[in-house]
Amino acid sequence: MPTYTPPLRDMQFVMHEVFKVSDEFKAMPPHAEVDVDTINAVIEEAGKFASEVIFPLNISGDTEGCVLDKATHEVKTPTGFKEAYDQYVEGGWAALSCDPAYGGQGLPFVLNQCLYEMMNSANQAWTMSPGLSHGAYEALHAHGTDEQKKLYLPKLTSGEWTGTMCLTEPHCGTDLGLLRTKAEPQADGTYKITGNKIFISAGEHAMAANIVHLVLARLPDAPKGSKGISLFVVPKFQVNADGALGERNPVFCTGLEHKMGIHGNATCQLSLDGAVGTLVGQPNKGLAAMFVMMNAARLGVGNQSLGLTEVAYQNALAYAKDRFQMRSLSGPKARDKDADPIIVHPDVRKMLLTAKAYAEGGRALQIYCTLLLDKVHSHPDEKVRAESEELVALLTPIVKAFITDNGHISTNACMQVFGGHGFIKEWGMEPFVRDNRINMIYEGTNTVQSLDLLGRKVLGNNGATLKKFGKLVGRLVEEEGVNEKMAEFINPIAMLGDQMTKFTTEIGFKGMQNPDEVGAAAVDYLRVAGHLVFGYMFARMAQVALREIAAGNTDPFYQAKLQTARFYFAKLFPETATLMRTARAGSKVLMDTDLALA
C-alpha cells in the first residue's frame, strides 16, 4: 500500500527562502500580519488533514467508486468521503482564503495552494469536490449580484454547499459557441433552464446540503456563437430569501461516466428540465464571467498533477531503496546481500529524479503564481496589481499544460520503477497514472492551452508579456552572470531566453502567412516556454542553496536541491533544442497528409 508524507520542508523553502512571501505580504494590508510562524502552523495542520484523513480513503475510493440510483437520481460517494468532507468543513479549510465579508479567514492564496497540493497528493478524486467550489465562489464573487453573493457566498465559503461548473454538452466540448441549453426569462426575474450537460465533476452527491451549479445557456434572442452565451446560477435546491433551502430544482443526474480514473468523484450527465436559475453578470456575457472560474480551475488542475507527481515520487523512491535486483554495473554496493537495491542503477535514478525535478519545479511555479494572485487581489499599488495579473495570465496555460504533461511523464516513470508490481493494483501506483491522465484533458486540453499561450498570450500582444518575464530572467542573469558556481544554472536560461525572441518572431511571421503554422508549433512552443519558466525557478532555488552552503549551513537539503537542479538542467532542459527544431518543421508535414490519413 502507498504512503504519503507532506513535503513541508520544500514548501517552506520555496515560500520563505526563495520568494520570501511573508515580506511580500507586508506590502498587502489584508495579509500584513501573516508571518512565517503562521504560515508554517497552517500548512502543518493542512498536511495532517491530507495525510491522515483523506489519503487513507484514496485506494478504497478508487475501488468502490460512485454509484447512481437511477430511480431517485441520487449518487452515493465512496465510504468515508462524506465524513471526511464534514471534517474538512469543521476544520475551516474551505474558508481558508475566502473573503472575511462572507465568513472566510482571508488568508493568502499561497496557503490555499499548499493545502490543495497536499490534498491532491492524498486523494485527487475527493479533492475535486471542494476544489470546484472555489471556482464557483470566485465567479460569483467577481460577477454576482449583491443578492446572489448574500445567498450563496457564505455557504460556499463555509463549505456547507459545494459548487460546479456546467459547460460541456454532448455535442460540444471546447467549442462552447455550439451549446444549446436554453434559458427562458420569467416574470419574476428568474429563468427556466433546459438542456443537457455532460462531464460535470461532482455534479451530484450527498456530501453537502446543496450544490450550486453555474450553468452556461442561451437566452431566446441570443446571437449565435460564443457571443450569445449567458451564465446562470442554478442550485440543486432553490434558496429562499432568508437563505433556507426550498424546493428541489429539476436538475438531475441521469448517468455517471465510466472513467479511466478519478473513480471516487461523480462525473455526471445532468438534465435540466426547467430548472430555476438567476442570471450572473450581463446577458450574452457569460463566457467572460465563466473564465474567472475556468482560469482558477486551470491553475487547480496543474496543482492536481503536481500533487500526484509528488506522491508517486515518494512511493517509487521508497520502493527503489527496498527492492533488490541484480548488481550495480560498477560493482556490488550491498555486499551482504545477494543483489543491490535498484536505486543504484542509473536509469532508475533518472526516473526518480525526473519526478523529483518536475515536482519541485512545479511547486515553485505554483507558489509563484499564487503569490502573484495575492498581489492582484491585495496589493495597494495599481501598477503592481496590473503587472501581476498580466504575468499570471501568461503563466496559467503553462501551469495547466506543462505541469500536467510532466505529471504524465512522472507518474508513468514512477510506476515503471516498480516493474511488474507497478501494473498490479495492490501496490497502489497505477491509480496515480490513471487519475493524472484526465488532467491533460479537462479545463481545455493541453493543445488548447498551447494555442492560448502562443496565439493569445504571446502573439496577441506581440510578445510584450513574454518580454516582461524575459526581464525577470535577464535580471537574474545579470545578478549572477559572473558567479562561476551559478554558471551551470544561469547559462542555459540565458541562452534560451535569447533564443525565445527569435523563435517567437519566426513562428509569428509564418503564422501571418498561414495560421496553421501556429497550430503546428503551439504544443512544442508551450513546452519550450515551460522549460524557460522551470529553468528560472531552479536557478533561483540554486541561488539560495549556494548562498546557504557558502554561509556554512550543513543541512543536506541544500546539497540535495543543487543535485536536483543539476539533473534538471543536464537531462530534462535540453529537450528544448529538439522542441524548437520540431516546431520549426512547420505545418506542411502535418496538413499535406490526406493520403496518409485516408
Report, as residue numbers or ranges, the catalytic residues. Answer: 443
Can you say how many angstroms the Cα of residue 538 is from the centroid of all Cα atoms in its chain?
A: 20
Give alpha helix (H) positions in 56-108. 58-64, 81-90
Distance CA 526, CA 450 (A): 5
Q: List phi, psi (to 5°) of 190.
A: -90, 180
CB contact at 8 A, 350 and 566: no
Q: What cell numbers appear for 13 in the block?
A: 523553502
Q: Do the bridges between strand 161-166 and strand 210-217 make them parallel or antiparallel, or are there none, so unpaired? A: parallel
CB contact at 8 A, 73 and 204: yes
Give alpha helix (H) positions in 484-572. 487-513, 516-550, 556-567
Distance CA 569, CA 150 (A): 51
Distance CA 563, CA 557 (A): 10
Q: What cell numbers appear for 428 in the block?
A: 497502489
CB contact at 8 A, 242 and 49: no
Q: Do the bridges between strand 74-76 and strand 67-69 make them parallel or antiparallel, or are there none, so unpaired? A: antiparallel
Q: List phi, psi (to 5°) of 592.
A: -90, 60
Map residue 434 onto helix, strand or coil.
helix
State the helix-helix crossing angle for 286-322 and 346-378, rounded to 10 degrees. Answer: 150
The count of other CB atoms within 10 Å of the CB of residue 286 is 29
